[in-house]
Every structure is written in C-alpha cells, then in structure tokens.
Amino acid sequence: MDNKNILVPRIRFQEFSGEWEQKKLGEVATFHKGKGISKADISIDGKYSCIRYGELYTKYNEVISEVVSKTNISSDKLVFSKKGDVLIPSSGETQEDIATASCVLEEGIALGGDLNIIRSELHGSFLSYYLNGSKSREIAKFSQGIVVVHLYSKQLEKLKTSFPSLPEQQKIASTLSSLDAIITTHTDKLEALKQHKKALLQQLFPQQGESVPRLRFAGFSGEWESKRFDNLFEIGSGKDYKHLSKGNTPVYGSGGYMLSVDKFLYDGESPCIGRKGTINKPQFLTGKFWTVDTLFYTHSFKRCTPKFIFNIFQNITWNNYNEAGGVPSLSKKVLNKIEVAIPTLPEQQKIADTLSSLDTIIEQQSKKIDLLKQHKKGMMQGLFPQAEKR
C-alpha cells in the first residue's frame, strides 16, 4: 500500500470529497499593515470602531462579529478593514501569543498598528480557524526576536496552506462558529453566576461599619460580633519542599497547585491567602497538603468554621493590606489585626452551605466550558488536514 499522505481531513461532511488544494499563503492572499491606534486614542463615543493588536489576545477569538473599541482619529490616518480580513499580530511577548488569528466580519473597521492584515478570496472565518488550529505551530516558528517577538508578512507568505472548495470552507467555518456561540453562551452564564455570588457575598455579610447583613435567612436575628483574625484562627507559614520526594500530597503556592510530594504540612480544611505575589485570590484546601512560603494557610479555628472564614476571605479587598511597592505582599502582623463581624455557628453554617452550593454550580459550569473547548480543539484537529506533503 502507498504510504503517501493524502490531503484530506480526518472528519469530513458527506457531501464533499476530493483532495484539498495546496498553495503557499502568498499565492492566495495579499498582506497589509494596520496604523497605530494607542490606548489613549480609544474613546467611548468615538466615530470609528477599531481593533488594537493587544485585543486579539484579550477580547476576541477566531471570529470578530462585534467590535468593542472606538476612536476619533481622523480617517486619513487610519487603515480600514474589508469584510473577511484576517488579522495576526506582528509583535508579541511569546511565539505562542503571536500565532493568534482573528477574522473581521465587518467592513470599515479601523485596524491598529502591529497588525498583519491578510486579505484573500478564501472564506475569512475558515482561514482564521485554520491558521489558529493546525498552522499555529508553523506560524510561531516563523516569528523572530527574544524580548519582543516579531512576525512579518514575508514569513507568512511562505506558509504552506491547503484549502477545499468555497462551499466546504463555509461549512467548516459555520460549524466552528456555531460551537463558538455555544461556548460564549455558557461563558456568559458562568460570568453571571460569578457576579451573582459576588453580589450575594456583599448582601450576606455586614458592610463596613455595620453589624448585621442586609440579607438574612429566616430564624436568625441579633447583631454579629466583631472579632480580630487572631481571635478566630491561627495563620501558618508555608515551607520549602525541595528536600521532599515525589508523592501524592499536593503542594500549593499563591498561584495554585505546583506539584506533589511525600509529606504533608497540614491535614484538614484550610482557607489560604497569598503571602506574596497573588494575594487577592483565596484558596480553600482540604485533606493533606503542603504550602510554600508564598502562601499562608489557616488552622486552629475558634468559634468559626473554615468554610465561613473562606467566604469572608472572598469578601475582602486584599490589596488594601498590601505592604509592598513592588511585588504585592501581606504579613501575619497585619492580617491578625483585621476585624470582621461573626454570627453564631448555626448562621455561619447556613451561609457557608448556601455559598458552597453556588460554588458547586459555578465549578460544574466551568467544567462544562472546558469540555466544550476540548471538543472544539478536537473538531479543529479533525476538520483540517494534519499532513500536507505528498
């Protein structure tokens, strides 16, 4: 049997057949550059919708259907999009970052500097998904630089591409766009759940200077008692783990899980807060664990439950207690003096149970989005040929 690579995708719609055509990107596209639009040029009431290169990383996916920024820069100083243009940054921090393609569906959008504009007869959304999928590694290899990575049109022109008929391109783009729409819907739902929890935290706990919450469960009354942290629990410091062997006990830092070792520092429920670095993201650890020096853990709770303290941690603006001008830092001395309002143990449990139930829903929603993203990744691997040499 001939082992040559056939130029067809692994997953294909039944109405299509035949090999995909292979050409260099420079044979099917022309390349253009955007013009500088700085952050200071962005205006809420701007005349022209615009896209800045940094937004490709933070605001947009493969298809840009709604533009979020506007500018009042004079039109003669701007470069405007044509429908179906595909944008790739011409500079970035890493090779992986720079291999980011987005298709502009609308004509007349101002395109900022540091943007490679790819204009072709191919279906724009198809090309964007294709470049972001099976071609992203090749694009990353084209980039040059150390501190700042650059990607030039001369490199993109050499990129070997393959594509089917326009109807098949449209079908692939439509399929992936529909999946993106589902992901967006679930992402919006997740954000709504997080905002609901944030609002609930503010309502279920007394505000500054108050001794009762604005929202309370039936059966509870009376003022909450003001207590300092050092009267409620003790704060433990993390330790170095390098002398330990690999094992099953997770090690955490202020940024989250790091690795696993064969010893544990604490066994139980423990709200944790960063000592240095990421100080504004509390973590709730259970069972046996180890923390490094950048993460405080709590223990020896008095007249309070760990889950309730974790909810309090989530309701604190930790940056207000930052003691450093550079890398954010917290100290035990400062933390121990923080005063919070505490209700009876039954009310603590009721609040903790309610918020824990909401946390479970949020976690399930987050996992659902992760599964959808994995499904999309698998679809992109199957819908585009992985081997492109005869």
Q: Where are the domains of the chain?
A: 1-6+165-223+345-390, 21-163, 225-342
For domain 21-163, which CATH number applies: 3.40.50.170, 3.60.21.10, 3.90.220.20, 3.40.630.10? 3.90.220.20
- 225-342 is classed CATH 2.60.40.1840: no
Query: Given this chain, do its domains 1-6+165-223+345-390 and 21-163 carry the same CATH topology?
Result: no
Q: Is residue 390 pLDDT above 50, yes or no? A: no
Query: Nearest-CA neighbor of 49 among 115, 108, 125?
Result: 108
Q: Per the structure block, which two tokens stand in for 210? A: 């108050």
Q: Is residue 202 pLDDT above 50, yes or no? A: yes
What residue has token string 């709200």?
271
- Tell me how many degrees the CA angle 128-32-72 measures, rounded to the nearest 5: 95
Cα dihedral angle (137, 139, 144, 145), rounded to 10 degrees? Answer: -60
- Percentage with pLDDT > 90 across the chain: 79
Q: What is the pTM of this model?
A: 0.83
- Residue 332 backbone phi and psi in degrees, to 5: -60, -40
Separation of CA 125 from chain center? 22
For domain 1-6+165-223+345-390, which CATH number applies: 1.20.1050.10, 3.50.50.60, 3.20.20.70, 1.10.287.1120? 1.10.287.1120
Q: Is residue 214 pLDDT above 50, yes or no? A: yes
Mention every residue, 6+ apart, whose C-beta is less than 8 A from residue 376.
Answer: 176, 179, 180, 183
Mean pLDDT of 104-127: 94
* 241/302 Cα distance (integer angstroms): 29
Q: Per the structure block, which two tokens stand in for 9? A: 């995708």
Which 3-state string (H, E, C) describes 181-234? Answer: HHHHHHHHHHHHHHHHHHHHHHHHCCCCCCCCCCCCCCCCCCCCEEEEHHHCCE
